[in-house]
Amino acid sequence: MASNTTAGPAAVPFTITLPLLPAITPTTITSSPILLATLLLTLLTTLLLTRSSGPRLHPLEPPLLRPHLPLIGHILSLIRHQAAYHITLQKHTRRPIATLPMLWSGKLYAVWDPYLAAAGLRAKTLSTTPHILEVTPTACETGEVTNGVLRGGTGEVLVERMMERVIPGALKGEGMRGMNLVALGGLGGSLSSLAVAAAKGNGNGDGWTEVPNLWLFIRHLVTSATTTALYGPEHNPFSVDAGSEDALWTMERNLLGLTLGLPGFMTKAGRQARATLVGALRPFYVGHRDTGGLEVGEKQEGTKGGVSQFVRDRAGLLRESGIPDEDVAKLEIMLPFAAMANTVPLLFWLIGWVFEMQGKVGADGQGDVVERLRKEVEGLIVGREGDVVRLSVATSAVEQNCPLLMSCYKETQRKTVHQVSTRTVVEDTILRDRAGKEYLLKKGNVAQLVLGTGHNMEEYWGEDVDEFKPDRFVTGSNSSNGQASKTEDGPGSVRAMRAAFLPFGGGSHLCPGRAFAFAEMMAVMATLLLGFDVQPLEGSEWKVPEFATRSVIDAVTKPKNHGDGLGVKLRRRSGWENAQWKYEL
């Protein structure tokens, strides 16, 4: 690759004239504070104006996009608006990719077009490892020994083994199946108990039970089931410590500040939540409860306490790499966050938007959306013995029997997945767009691959891109009735949507737990659709909350103000009064 560079736009010239200025010598400079200050100001201003003209770019690098406020404009906007800033920039500029000038590093590559983003996700020369190793010690507040492992020569090996061997190995086959069935068992128990509560009603005999805040209800439902699947029912830290659930979600909201290492007065809530989580996890890992109390290298017969292979293998690798038990607990505060941070908001939005459609007809004109979904999920019933109802929530079963539900699920992902994958360019890398145009990403810089921009581009989805269309992903003969077309090639066609739809990332970092999360969400949705009438609370209307800030830390947008304003009431549907819910894969 040629190494010649071209300067960006010429620097703004800067001149200053000082009348009657004496001859400038070291003596006159040091003896005149006013002169010294003037020269320093001149030097600083010249430096700022020179830097504001933009970094030097190779002809193949993405075009420079200057901020309105030189040097710090992009930084301030990213801090304030986070992932939404990328979506706004792309909509205003219509560019597929850009170079953003940055004060501290010179430039940041913002990759917005989904075709280019997908290519970046596949590129092995764009690595998440340097970023992970840099921010993890700060975010988790680990000790010197662990920091030496992470930032020393073995850190990259540890991350590679975790990402390429441990995580994929534990999240497939019997390991994944066993963990999934435990989680589904927990959900079934909770939803069956909810059915009993709904039958009793509010004490007035009307059969309704109230859920004041749908977000908090879903959050607790998923947290309880998922943590039991991870840590087992015997020593689940989230069951032992009642405050750990709130701490987890408080830390999640404050994770960006912890990752950036902001001062304590700015991150007090996050630091307190982190300390609570570490305190809850410490007995589990220091006591080797993941291995049944065995030390590293000792043979384990079976699984003690129902701890998942995923938890055991992760902790085992960390210990083998020389990380003390105390810091294993600190590092693994990120595990439950990763397991649930996307599932909870996706399920919340799916329920919110689906039941908002009650009594409404989809764009295809084929009838009430909720009633059609109820008819579809009847196809998931694999057995009914007395009061026990068994549903298959395997991906294949839902895809085969529930095309509209699958479409609602994908539409929810499209509307809410905003993931920004931050990667270091470890070697000069060429990305090519659909037309073959090449863009050079230079070694040593940071690239942000933004998945949310592709989910919000009219050229892929059409003029109704901002709407929630339940049947958008139902394949039809043409797009005029709201269904995706197999034959067309324009906005809203199958080809266009497939190119723009990146809900799970890609490359070596394709979300490994997507099947686990999908089964959890489908179990809850199918049960609510079949077994319950769902209505807004008395005296209110069904109003889906606004989006909160789209964090660059997680992948799915959360509701503003913890979902305040969307409470529901539930009543068991006729014919399902005594149903006990079980799920199969």
The DSSP call for residue 100 is E
pLDDT given for residue 437 in this prediction? 96
Confidence of residue 168 (pLDDT cuts 50, 70, 90): confident
Task: Judge whether residue 31 has pLDDT over 60.
Answer: no
Report the pLDDT value the prediction gives residue 25, as an integer from 0 to 100: 43
Task: Quote the CA–CA distance of 215 and 227 in Å, as a whole number.
Answer: 18
pLDDT digits over 461-480, tens only? 999 999 999 999 998 633 44
pLDDT exceeds 70 at position 386: yes
Q: What is the pLDDT of residue 200?
A: 67
Q: Which residue has the tokens 């596949």?
A: 122
Provide the Cα torsion 150, 512, 430, 126; round to 10°: -10
Say how far apart CA 160 and CA 29 lie, in whole Å.
56
Spatial CA neighbour of 542 closest among 221, 214, 198: 214
pLDDT at 451: 93
**438 or 512, higher pLDDT:** 438
Q: How many C-beta atoms surround the C-beta of residue 545 within 10 A?
A: 19
The CATH code of the domain at 144-345+512-584 is 1.10.630.10
Q: What is the 3-state secondary structure (H, E, C) of 198-234?
A: HHHCCCCCCCCEEECCHHHHHHHHHHHHHHHHHHCCC
Q: E strands, 351-494, where? A: 381-385, 388-392, 420-425, 429-432, 438-441, 446-450, 475-476, 484-485
Sheet arrangement for strand 446-450:
97-102, 106-111, 446-450, 420-425, 126-127
- pLDDT above 90 as % of the chain: 63
Q: Are 369 and 470 in contact (CB under 8 A)?
A: yes
- Taking the C-alpha atoms of residue 24 and residue 27, their distance in angstroms, rounded to an integer, is 8
The structural domains of the chain, with segments of one domain joined by +, span: 26-141+420-451, 144-345+512-584
Helix (H) or strand (E) holding 536: strand 532-536
Cα–Cα distance between 584 and 185 in angstroms, integer?
Answer: 9
